Amino acid sequence: MAQTLSSSCRWRHELSVPPAQSATPATSSPAPLRLLANRGHSEGSAGSFRTPEFLTWVISQVTASPEQTSQSVHSVEDMNFRVHLQYEFTKLGLDEYLDKLKHTESDKLQVQIQAYLDNVFDVGALLEDAETKNAALERVEELEENLSHLSEKLQDTENEAMSKIVELEKQLMQRNKELDVVREIYKDANTQVHTLRKMVKEKEEAIQRQSTLEKKIHELEKQGTIKIQKRGDGDIAILPVVASGTLSSGSEVAVGPATGAAASGPLPPPPPPLPLLSDAPEAAVKIKKPIKTKFRMPVFNWVALKPNQINGTVFNEIDDERILEDLNVDEFEEIFKTKAQGPAIDLSSSKQKITQKGSNKVTLLEANRAKNLAITLRKAGKTADEICKAIHVFDLKTLPVDFVECLMRFLPTENEVKVLRLYERERKPLENLSDEDRFMMQFSKIERLMQKMTIMAFIGNFAESIQMLTPIILALGNYMNSSKRGAVYGFKLQSLDLLLDTKSTDRKQTLLHYISNVVKEKYQQVSLFYNELHYVEKAAAVSLENVLLDVKELQRGMDLTKREYTMHDHNTLLKDFILGNEGRLKKLQDDAKIAQDAFDDVVKYFGENPKTTPPSVFFPVFVRFVKAYKQAEEENELRKKQEQALMEKLLEQEALLEQQDPKSPSHKSKRQQQELIAELRRRQVKDNRHVYEGKDGAIEDIITVLKTVPFTARTAKRGSRFFCEPVLTEEYHY
């Protein structure tokens, strides 16, 4: 405040302003500001103030005054004192003069005035903001409390729903067991009925044959050709009648034994029933072809299941080959290829030569899009009319959901529709179009095509309960191992732990990181699969064997109590205990049996053996996998943020580099560095002599051999110290 008063006194002294003019604080103001504001009003005094030196001095003083005022007010740390100083200057009339000077032509003065106004405190607004903040905080506290209550209610509802679900699942399992028993009874009864019907039919046929033979015998007897003689045991004998000596003895043998056998012999036993359908051999497993990759890939050392081990498991219901159609395998190879390799092998070169020899039909679609559409249509094996008709009526029996999802990638774009309609309006022959263009012509005419395709995909996937993670892992593992070890049909759960051991070429990410990215980009519906795994961590800590033993101990104790009660039936305490707890024990036994059966089913479903895989081994695999998967998701997000920040930084550096003088040393150094990197890359591509090109992936092979085959030292020629080829060790990984 002293500095402010001294500056005000200095202004009065320098301009020789009479003290009487500053007697009233409310109307007085700094003299330079008043002089500048009132300049030009008096024509008589204007001459003495128009010299350049004086005007320059006035502007400097006026410019310095707001600067000094701003420093005096806003350099104070105490906010209350700052408001007090601000109010003092307001009382001196500073605000009015600043308002008059806001249209001044001096840029320096405008900057100082604006700096002062920007730092002005509006106590009323601050008070209003404080009141609003308090009200908002109270509202937030109220909402947080409501949210807490709602969360508790939601948790209670979830627990109640989960209990009901568990109870319904128990009932469902019990009904399924009863249904299986009924099916077995029905199957046995059906077999017996079939056998009895066959026996009745054979009996009727035998009776019919006997009746026919008896009729013929009576006819022959009437004709006098044969004679019937009854024996003592009740049987009959047919004797031939010799007429004029012309009947031979051969005719006697032809009729007699057959008739006697038909009349007196017992019926033969019925043939055994036909074998049931369940005894038929299992359906043959589709043979998977090896996948040829452009680069050599590292080996994923999973524990594979044999083809005869996947029946009834999750692997029997998935199609990992379809997953590869959705994935960018070129990117996958580039990330996980082993080092020291030449350029990629062009597997499509021969196909391109064949394509060039094709027919000269008109193609309206883009070449790659038309080729991919042709491949998709060939897999369906349906005509365009059948496909479009099935889409009209949402027929998922004609079009599988997999084909519908593939076809959704070929929905006609706006530009394609325009081109097709233009071709049609010009009345050009449709026969000149390729098959893909004709299909697209008909495909694009379906009303509300996008909605219908989306609905079909939704209906097809609604009841799908198989998670996509298993086929993704199987597909990528087969893609890496197929060329070396052949394709497998399933894998053991312990292979999930090995996803972290398979790393990319730059060693910065693992196969699990890549799978996490694929799931997030292409299969978002299963990206939160771990939310469906309820109580897995609790299940991992439970010993089912101990639980079953405890239930047996309870049953033995109940049996002992019952025996004691039979000897002392007058004991009401034992009677009440048995009546009150026998039902609970029965329910506990049923629950334990259901738990055992459910665990056996889920273990078999994942291709494991229930006898060798207890819950303490089975569930921790999923706990570790979920934990590693979540960590991989977090690391992927962090890596994306870092890459984005690095990209922004590089763009800024590029912009600064472009603004620099091209002749500057830093610009030349940067340009030389870029040219050097480009030249090294060109040389790497041109160089055909690659280190370890023929033995790429040798380290993985050696490690694999060490795990399975004893070490063999070299004896004669220099070279590898392991003379066992990886092919010989394939059986150890299956």
Quick: pLDDT tens for 559-583.
Answer: 888 888 888 778 888 888 888 888 8
Is residue 204's pLDDT more than 90? Answer: yes
Joined tokens for residue 103: 């249209």
What pLDDT, in 10s, does the model give residues 582-596? 888 888 888 888 888
Choice among 73-82, 218-227, 264-273, 516-525 with the minimum mean pLDDT: 264-273
Q: How confident is the model at residue 675 (pLDDT cuts 50, 70, 90)?
A: low
Partners of 236 in the beta sheet?
A: 230
Is residue 193 over pLDDT 90?
Answer: yes
| Residue 522, pLDDT above cutoff 80 | no
For 228, the 3-state DSSP assignment is strand
> Looking at per-residue confidence, does 477 or 671 come out higher?
477
Give the pLDDT score at 18.
38
- Check residues 269 and 251 and name the one with the higher pLDDT: 269
Query: 285-289, 513-517, 616-620: which range is least confident on average?
Result: 285-289
Whether 706 shows a pLDDT value over 50: the answer reads yes
| Max mean pLDDT range (177-181, 218-222, 242-246, 274-278) | 177-181
The pLDDT assigned to 143 comes to 93
pLDDT of residue 462: 47
pLDDT of residue 716: 42
Mean pLDDT of 628-652: 86
Low-confidence winner among 122-136, 324-338, 346-360 (lowest mean pLDDT): 346-360
pLDDT of residue 451: 78
Longest dimension (CA), the chain: 185
Would you give the end-to-end CA distance of the chain in angstroms?
A: 90
How far apart are the C-alpha atoms of 182 and 65, rounded to whole Å? Answer: 103
Asked whether the whole model's pTM tops 0.85, one would answer: no
Q: Which of 412-421, 592-601, 648-657 has the lowest mean pLDDT?
A: 648-657
**Tens of pLDDT, residues 367-394:** 888 888 888 888 778 888 889 888 888 7
Q: Is 73 exposed, middle or buried (0-12, 13-18, 19+ CB in 10 A)?
A: buried
pLDDT band at 275 (very low <50, low <70, confident <90, very high): very low
Work out the pLDDT band at 170, boundaries 50, 70, 90. confident
| pLDDT, position 665 | 58
pLDDT tier, 43 (very low <50, low <70, confident <90, very high otherwise): very low
Model pLDDT, residue 200: 93
Q: Does the pLDDT at position 728 exceed 70? A: no
Q: Name the residue with higher pLDDT: 710 or 259.
A: 710
Q: Is the pLDDT of residue 139 over 90?
A: yes
Residue 146 reports pLDDT greater than 80: yes
Q: How far apart are CA 54 and CA 138, in angstroms?
A: 61
Residue 679, C-beta contacts closer than 8 angstroms, at least 6 positions apart = none
Residue 208's pLDDT band (boundaries 50, 70, 90)? very high
Q: Which residues contact 263 (CB under 8 A, 6 or more apart)?
A: 210, 213, 235, 236
Query: In the chain, what percentage of residues exceed pLDDT 90?
Result: 5
Residue 453 contacts residue 407 (beta carbons within 8 Å): yes
Higher confidence at residue 241 or residue 229? 229
**For position 667, what pLDDT does the model report?**
57
Indicate if the pLDDT at residue 246 is higher than 50. no
pLDDT digits (tens, 9 = 90+) for 294-345: 777 777 777 777 777 777 777 766 677 777 777 777 777 777 777 655 555 4
Q: Tell me the pLDDT tens digit for each residue of 391-402.
A: 888 777 788 877
Taking residues 269-287, what's their average pLDDT? 48
User: Phi and psi for 143 in degrees, rounded to 5?
Assistant: -65, -40
Domain residue spans of the chain: 2-121, 125-264, 362-465, 544-613, 690-733
| Range 642-658 average pLDDT | 79
- HSE-CB at 582 with a 13 A cutoff on CA atoms is 10
Higher pLDDT, 725 or 271: 271
Name the residue with higher pLDDT: 256 or 286.
286
Q: How many CB atoms lie within 10 A of CB 190?
A: 11
Cα 280 to chain centroid distance, Å, stands at: 37
**What b/e sequence results for 665-701 when a residue is b if at least 16 CB atoms lie within 10 Å of its CB, and e otherwise?**
eeeeeeeeeeeeeeeeeeeeeeeeeeeeeeebbeebb
**Residues contacting residue 704 through CB under 8 Å, at least 6 positions apart:** 299, 301, 726, 729, 733
Say if CB 74 and CB 82 are below 8 A apart. Answer: yes
- Residue 468 pLDDT: 60
Cα separation, 713 vs 82, in Å, equals 87
Task: In whole angstroms, give the CA distance from residue 242 to residue 227.
Answer: 10
Distance CA 136, CA 708 (A): 68
pLDDT at 87: 80
Burial of 4 (0-12, 13-18, 19+ CB in 10 A): middle
What per-residue confidence (pLDDT) applies to 35?
43
- The rounded mean pLDDT for the chain is 71
* Tens digits of residue pLDDT in 9-28: 444 344 333 333 333 333 33
- Residue 394's region, left for phi above 0, alpha for psi from -120 to 50, else beta, is left
Give the Cα separation of 618 and 41 in Å (integer).
97
What integer is the mean pLDDT of 236-244?
61
Mean local confidence (pLDDT), 138-149: 91
Taking the C-alpha atoms of residue 388 and residue 390, their distance in angstroms, rounded to an integer, is 5
pLDDT at position 699: 57
Indicate whether 283 pLDDT > 80: no
- Half-sphere exposure for 531 (CA within 13 Å, toward CB): 5
Average pLDDT over residues 124-147: 90
Confidence of residue 182 (pLDDT cuts 50, 70, 90): very high
Reference 299, options 708, 633, 608; nearest CA is: 708
Where residue 714 falls among pLDDT bands split at 50, 70, 90? very low
